[in-house]
Structure 1
Amino acid sequence: MTLLAVELERPDEQDLAPARELGTFLVHRRDSYLAFALAFILLWSVWRRHHKLMDRIGRLSSAFTAWHAPFLLLVAFLPFPTAVIGASATNPLADTLFAGTMAAMVCCEAAIREISARTASGRSASGSSSAAPSPGCSRTRSSCGSSPRWHPRTAER
């Protein structure tokens, strides 16, 4: 999410000197700040849902990773359409680029949730039975065998 702030234009020294110049600078770039706030809220929401989902995952299927890669790509790409819409908020193509990126992210997220739900219920994308993680395993990527993997949320303090 910090990548979003990189796209925000910073005032030059001449814009910082008098308060009126700084105010003018900020007012003229309000679309950029609104786009930043919107993208931040959307990314925060996606991030929370993603972490909740990953905490429930017992194992990863190839279908899950196939949808997860484009999802992460779109999340990393979001600062670009955010900068475009912030620079030209009245341009319909800028709106379309931003909305299309968000729609593609939501589509990937829905596919990931569906695949993880199938895997959790004992069916993989191909319909075969999935192996449950060993007792004590936390957020494993594959079967743990007899020893659980360390995870910060389950580690003793």
Structure 2
Amino acid sequence: MEQTRAGQSPERLGFLTDAVLAIAMTLLVIEIPRPEGRDFDIGPDTSGGQAASQLWQFLVHEAGAFYSYALAFFVLWIVWRQHHTVLDRLRYIPGLVMALHFPLLLLAGFLPFATAIMGHHPGNPLATVLFGLVVLLLMLCRSSVQSAAARTDALTDDTPAQRLERTACWVVTGYWGLTLLIAWWTPWVQVLWFFSGAVGHAFARLALRREEAAAAAS
């Protein structure tokens, strides 16, 4: 068994990851534009209906920013949940797993910037591709962490269900990569990205049913 080095325990790495992801999630909402100006206030020349209409038009105009926020938050939430599924089962942090956390956290911290660009310019193909590429690399790091941990004796257990979850993560990563290929020409690819979690869940359910059927047949 590899000797745990100071500062490389699962607990310390978990605290750092939690902090970075929590800050990134918070920065996502900070990047959403706020309604500013007297047009949104009720005054001598502005009735309540007019102020409400101005605010509604502003919210509709910024719909892309709200959607980008929800999508990026969803991605970070999934990364956090799956990260702890692995980290909570590690006796120590293998060297490769520790090394992979550098790009993982680097990309997580950069995601609010890419999200803000796509939210402010939802029709710009480069903005969409930038966001999709950051998320794809983030998913690659996440899946690589899971696979790297599984190739060592660091895991306390590795059940078939957990191996299936790792495969599902790679399937979702592949799905995101395939959709990214059409992101430049298809702005509504952002809608497909929101179904990435459902794709992983559907794959896991289908694979589990096949395993149960094979076990029953044998």
Smaller-chain TM-score bracket:
0.7 to 0.9
Match of 1:43 among 76, 82, 85: 76
1:146 aligns with: none
**Identity rate of aligned residues, in percent?**
41
Q: Where does residue 5 of structure 1 map in the other structure?
A: 29
Which residue number in structure 1 is paired with residue 40 of structure 2?
16
Shift of 1:13: 4.2
**Where in structure 2 are there 5+ consecutive unaligned residues?**
1-24, 42-50, 156-218
SS of the equivalent of 2:138 reads: helix
With the length of structure 2 as denominator, give the TM-score of the two structures.
0.53
Q: What amino acid maps onto 1:118 in structure 2?
A: R
**What SS class does the counterpart of residue 119 from structure 2 fall into?**
helix
Deviation at 1:29, TM superposition (A): 0.6
Q: Give the counterpart letter for 1:105 in structure 2.
A: L
Matches of 2:77 and 2:52, distance apart in 1: 33
| Distance change in 2, residues 1:109/1:51 (3 Å) | same
Unaligned runs of 5+ in 1: 123-157
Runs of 4+ in 1 over 3 A off after TM superposition: none
Question: Contact between 1:4 and 1:36, CA under 8 Å: does it hold in 2?
Answer: yes
Shift of 1:15: 4.2
Q: In structure 2, what is the equivalent of residue 113 of structure 1?
A: 146
Instruction: For residue 120 of structure 1, report the CA deviation from its aligned partner.
Output: 3.2
Corresponding residue for residue 147 of structure 1 = none
Aligned positions, number = 122
On the 8 A contact 1:15/1:25 being kept in 2, the answer is: no
Q: Deviations over 1:27-67 (max 9, x none)?
A: 11110001001111111111111121111111112211111
Alpha-carbon separation, structure 2, partners of 1:78 and 1:6: 13
Alignment match, 1:150 = none
Deviations 1:65-100 (A, max 9, x none): 111111011111110110011011111111110110
Matches of 2:54 and 2:130, distance apart in 1: 32
Whether 1:31 and 2:64 are equivalent positions in the alignment is yes
- Supply the RMSD in Å over aligned alpha carbons: 1.4
Please say if residues 91 and 154 of structure 2, whose CA atoms lie closer than 8 Å, have aligned partners that are also in contact: no
| Larger relative helix fraction | 2
Distance 1:14 1:22 in 2: 11
Aligned-partner Cα distance in 2 for 1:3–1:51: 21
Q: Which amino acid aligns with 2:74?
A: I
1:102 to 2:126 alignment? no
| Aligned partner of residue 81 in structure 2, secondary structure | helix
Q: 1:126 aligns to what?
A: none
Does the aligned pair in 1 maintain the 2:117–2:127 contact within 8 Å? yes
C-alpha contact 2:118 2:131 (8 A) present in aligned 1: yes
